Amino acid sequence: MRKILITGGAGFIGSHVVRRFVNNYPDYEIYNLDSLTYAGNLENLKDIDSKPNYHFIKGDIEDADFIMEIFQKYQFDGVIHLAAESHVDRSITNPMQFVHTNVLGTVHLLNAARTIWNGNWEGKKYYQISTDEVYGALGDTGAFQETTPYNPHSPYSAAKASADHFVRAYHDTYGMPTIISNCSNNYGPNQFPEKLIPLFINNIKNNKPLPVYGKGINVRDWLYVEDHAEAIDLIFHKAKPGDTYNIGGNNEWRNIDLIKKLIEIMDRKLGRPEGTSLNLITYVTDRAGHDLRYAIDPTKIKNELGWQPKVKFDEGFEKTVDWYLANEEWFNNVTSGAYVDYYKKMYEGR
Ligand code: NAD
Ligand code: TYD
């Protein structure tokens, strides 16, 4: 396996995956394809962008001809597909963009791989990075298993689910060696500050209200992004064609408890008296269709691949806060311009 296409490598998780593959596999050629939407930022990769085995391709997975051309030109052996529209709130205001990127973009990649690989599946792999949100929502107990039926509720998760169905269809119909993994919520450096943790770090720092949706009782299972990148590496190399793995952090938090923990860390790091920022908590109108709880049963990946999260939450959370506080320039760059309009539209009058 020599030439690997990683899509969405300028985004949050993609940048950690690209870095890991570029550093750990000097004999692989890594091609990062990204259209650099608001969420894509090449600054995320500036530490590795001069490595000889790293190549950046600016391009859009929605452009079928272009995708076919690069498959023809570079003859990739493997694909790790992360490029997506990834924010649930944006999917509620603009569902069609999610159909274009997440569904059609995926099918264009599958078509190009099918055409260029042309039935010669030996040494080939197509790996789809999916989310636990495709399984829908849990009540107070239970956890998603690989066999849990898909039951998405948001336009984001419906688009991701649809893409996954196409991936399985290409395996079952054409014999393409595909793999899918469904991961829980990631946290860590380089996440765009529309998602809960970096958004709230920024707001606490700037003494801005913290918009907690509904009652703050929704539960998410948080995994440090580098643990996800490690799981992706293992799955890419070890999974059998047609296989699926769930990836989780064994680390469930109610939003409000997570936010209080974040406030405690931030007040300490900013030298504010304990509890100062608690008064920033502002309960706002709930997200439409807000899934109550996600949780992953990690038995399969643990038993079959020996993977489990390495980074303890206390350590990972502190590290994450430190990174955002130390990288003010990154923050200022991504929160200028269009971000200001986004914030107004999403939160004013909520
Ligand atoms: P992100 O929004 O940070 O990054 C997405 C990247 O895709 C950006 O670099 C963007 O420029 C690129 N992109 C978007 N549309 C594109 C297009 N049409 N053509 C080419 N590039 C395009 O997303 P993320 O949080 O890093 O998520 C990456 C993947 O992991 C997604 O597929 C997401 O569904 C999945 N996932 C995310 C999480 C999470 O907690 N963030 C959890 C599980 C699964
Ligand atoms: P988010 O980071 O958007 O991830 P996801 O919706 O994919 O789980 O949100 C995490 C949780 O935090 C989710 O339950 C929604 C909630 N949330 C808020 O309460 N306020 C906010 O401003 C945001 C962005 C999220």
- Beta pairing, strands 3-7 & 78-81: parallel
Torsion, Cα 159 75 246 160, to 10 degrees, reads 0
156 among known catalytic residues: yes
E-state strands within the chain? 3-7, 29-34, 54-58, 78-81, 125-131, 178-183, 185-187, 210-213, 219-224, 244-247, 252-254, 281-284
Q: Which two tokens stand for residue 177?
A: 């060696």
**Ligand 1 neighbourhood includes 34 CB (under 6 angstroms):** yes
3-class DSSP assignment, residue 95? helix
User: ∠ at Cα 163 (133, 92), nearest 5°?
Assistant: 55
Distance, in Å, from the CA atom of 36 to the CA atom of 65, rounded to the nearest integer, reads: 19
Ligand 2 atom nearest to 214, measured from its CA? 19
Amino acid at 192: F
* Residue identifier of the C-alpha nearest atom 10 of ligand 1: 40
User: How many helices (H) and strands (E) in the chain?
Assistant: 13, 12
3-class DSSP assignment, residue 126? strand
Ligand 1 centroid – CA 85 distance (Å): 6
Q: Which two tokens stand for residue 193?
A: 């500050």
User: Ligand 1 pocket test: which of 37, 57, 182, 291 has the largest number of ligand atoms within 8 Å of its C-beta?
Assistant: 37
Global pTM?
Answer: 0.98
**Ligand 1 neighbourhood includes 57 CB (under 6 angstroms):** no
133 among known catalytic residues: yes
User: Ligand 2 pocket test: which of 138, 156, 195 has the largest number of ligand atoms within 8 Å of its C-beta?
Assistant: 195
Amino acid at 121: W
pLDDT of residue 337: 86
Backbone angles phi, psi at 18, to 5 degrees: -60, -50
- Percent of the chain that is helix, strand, coil (3-state, to 5): 45, 15, 35
The pLDDT tens digits along the chain (350 residues) read 699 999 999 999 999 999 999 999 999 999 999 999 999 999 999 999 999 999 999 999 999 999 999 999 999 999 999 999 999 999 999 999 999 999 999 999 999 999 999 999 999 999 999 999 999 999 999 999 999 999 999 999 999 999 999 999 999 999 999 999 999 999 999 999 999 999 999 999 999 999 999 999 999 999 999 999 999 999 999 999 999 999 999 999 999 999 999 999 999 999 999 999 999 999 999 999 999 999 999 999 999 999 999 999 999 999 999 999 999 999 999 998 899 999 999 998 78
Ligand 2 atom nearest to 287, measured from its CA? 15
Spell out the residues 6+ positions from residue 174 whose beta carbon is closer than 8 angstroms to its own: 114, 119
pLDDT of residue 1: 61
**Which residues on adjacent β-strands are paired with residue 62?**
none
Ligand 2 centroid – CA 271 distance (Å): 27
